[in-house]
Amino acid sequence: MDQVPEPPPTAQELDALMQRIDAGEGSFAPLSDEQRSQLKASLSEEWIAAFLDKYPVPMALAAAISEYRAIEAGARYPNLPENVREDILLEFNEHHGEGGPDHWSTV
């Protein structure tokens, strides 16, 4: 693949793109496993740099806890690399306090 696609602006779209890369759909079909891995790493780094601080962390505590736990378990954004999911979870801590959901309600 000569042209690396731009990372999409949302985590949902990035997750879907990662799934297409993994599946070898369309223009990703001729890529080797190593090339797919490199592409995913590059897209992840670019997405984190460009869009992580724009992630829409829910302000309501109950919604934030629910979404955090779904991301942490891999139920939400199952196709994102672990480092991207971890960085998203750090955004939740930035908004609601350190330590994750078990500590938020006591802050």
Tokens of 92: 């939740």
Tokens of 75: 């139920």
Confirm whether 91 is domain-assigned. yes
DSSP H stretches of helix in 1-107 = 11-23, 33-51, 61-73, 82-96, 101-104
pTM of the model: 0.91
Residue pair 36/24 in contact by the 8 Å Cβ criterion = yes
Confirm whether 1 is domain-assigned. no
Residue pair 79/44 in contact by the 8 Å Cβ criterion = no
pLDDT of residue 106: 57
Confirm whether 6 is domain-assigned. no
Whole-angstrom distance, CA of residue 92 vs CA of residue 73: 15
Tell me the mean pLDDT per 10 residues along the chain, length 107. Answer: 81 97 94 95 96 96 96 97 97 94 78
- Residue 25 is which amino acid? E
**Structural domain range at position 59:** 11-104
Number of domains the chain contains: 1
Confirm whether 27 is domain-assigned. yes
Residue environment code for 17-44, b if the CB has 16+ CB neighbours within 10 A, otherwise e: bbeebeeeeeebeeeeeeebeebbeebb
Confirm whether 3 is domain-assigned. no
pLDDT of residue 105: 73
